[in-house]
């Protein structure tokens, strides 16, 4: 009977098997990296807006409170984006001829809302509500980052399920006094080491229930 396998067949088989494993591992690493990349989570990417509105100037520079523009954040699911006349409360008198603000003036004159491109968005199958987070003292900065340092707004946190769950499993250390939620740089929580426990108790927050699927997928 003639030999079926040559002398080198064993080596070739081993190399092929090794290559296969290597390709598998590399593609796994690539997929994992891609899933966590800012390309998928949009973290740090700015989008083109009709007006280059700067939170750095208006929040950091002028000290405007978030609620001056995102007025419904405390009472509804939506934080809401400001209507044109909100810009005009100031820009009817200052920077009135600035070319960057031309779309705002046109929007007011034609009574057509500005088309802001959305930055912070969840998939449609996730339910989110601002008012409950604000009323429990979850500050804006936990989810939107240092908005007061952003000349153009970008997403600061990956809005993945992991991100939400990390806090829902143990929300205590993230909470603040209710009247400090819009402060970007508050760090006085260490004044009362019992604060987190007291907050959880006062609001009856049960972390074990907050991770149930129906909380966010309803």
Partner 1 sequence: MNAGLVIATLLTLAVSTCDQMRHQPRYDYAEPSKLFADGTSLQAPPDGTIARDDPTWQAALTDRPPMTAALLARGRERFGIYCAVCHDLAGYGQGIVPSRGFPHPPSYHIDRLRNAPSSYLVDVITHGHGAMYSYADRVSPADRWAIAAYIRALQLSQDAPAASLTDDERAKLDGGGK
What residues from 85 to 104 belong to the interface with ligand HEC (CB under 6 A)? 86-87, 89-91, 94-95, 100-101, 104
Using alpha carbons only, give the angle 216, 161, 181 rounded to the nearest 5 degrees. Answer: 75
C-alpha–C-alpha distance, residues 4 and 94, integer Å: 89
Please report the DSSP string for 5-69 in residue order.
S-TTHHHHHHHHHHHHHHHHHHHHHHHHHHHHSHHHH-BT-B---SS---HIIIIIIT---HHHH
Choose one: 24-32, 74-82, 144-152, 191-199; the region binding partner 1 (CB under 8 A): 74-82
- For residue 37, the partner it binds in partner 1, ligand HEC, none, with Cβ less than 5 to 8 A by kind, is none
Q: In the bound complex, what is the minimum distance in angstroms from residue 127's beta carbon to partner 1?
A: 12
- Is 180 among the residues that bind partner 1 (CB under 8 A)? no
Question: Binding to partner 1 by residue 90, rule CB under 8 A?
Answer: yes
Q: Are 103 and 50 contacting, i.e. CB atoms less than 8 angstroms apart? A: yes
Please return the burial class of 66, using the count of CB atoms within 10 Å of its CB with bins 0-12, 13-18 and 19+: buried
Regarding 106 and contact with ligand HEC (CB under 6 A), the answer is no
Contact between 154 and ligand HEC by CB under 6 A: the answer reads no
Provide the minimum distance between the beta carbon of 72 and ligand HEC in the complex, in angstroms, as a whole number: 8
User: What is the dihedral sign for C-alpha 57, 63, 66, 67?
Assistant: negative
Helices (H), the chain: 9-36, 38-41, 55, 66-69, 84-91, 102-110, 130-135, 140-144, 161-169, 195-203, 207-210, 213-216
Among 2, 63, 97, 123, which residue interacts with ligand HEC (rule: CB under 6 A)?
A: 123
Choose between 11 and 78: whose C-beta lies nearer to partner 1: 78
Q: Is 125 in the site for partner 1 (CB under 8 A)?
A: yes
Smaller CB separation from partner 1, 4 or 62 = 62
* Binding-site member from 15, 37, 38, 78 for partner 1 (CB under 8 A): 78
65 interacts with partner 1 by CB under 8 A = yes
d(CA 158, CA 9): 49
Q: Which of 43, 71, 108, 120 binds ligand HEC (CB under 6 A)?
A: 120
In the complex, the residues that contact partner 1 under the rule CB under 8 A are 62-65, 67-68, 71, 78, 80-81, 83, 85-86, 88-90, 92-94, 112-113, 115-116, 118, 121, 123-125, 179
């Amino acid at each position: 009977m003639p030999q079926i396998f040559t002398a080198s067949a064993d080596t070739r088989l081993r190399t092929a098997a090794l290559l296969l494993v290597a390709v598998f591992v590399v593609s796994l690493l690539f997929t994992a990296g891609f899933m966590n990349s800012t390309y998928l989570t949009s973290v740090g990417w700015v989008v083109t807006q009709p007006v280059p509105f700067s939170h750095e100037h208006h929040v950091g520079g002028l000290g405007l409170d978030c609620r001056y523009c995102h007025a419904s954040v405390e009472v509804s699911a939506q934080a809401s984006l400001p209507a044109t006349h909100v810009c005009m409360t100031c820009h009817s008198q200052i920077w009135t001829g600035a070319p960057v603000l031309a779309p705002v003036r046109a929007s007011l004159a034609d009574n057509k809302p500005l088309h802001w491109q959305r930055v912070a968005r969840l998939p449609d199958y996730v339910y989110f509500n601002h008012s409950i987070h604000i009323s429990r003292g979850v500050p804006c900065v936990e989810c939107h980052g240092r908005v007061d340092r952003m000349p153009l707004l970008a997403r600061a946190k990956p809005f993945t399920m992991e991100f939400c769950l990390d806090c829902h499993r143990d929300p205590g250390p993230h909470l603040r006094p209710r009247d400090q939620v819009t402060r970007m740089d508050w760090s006085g929580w260490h004044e009362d080491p019992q604060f987190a426990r007291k907050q959880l108790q006062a609001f009856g927050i049960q972390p074990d229930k907050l991770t149930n699927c129906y909380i966010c997928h309803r």
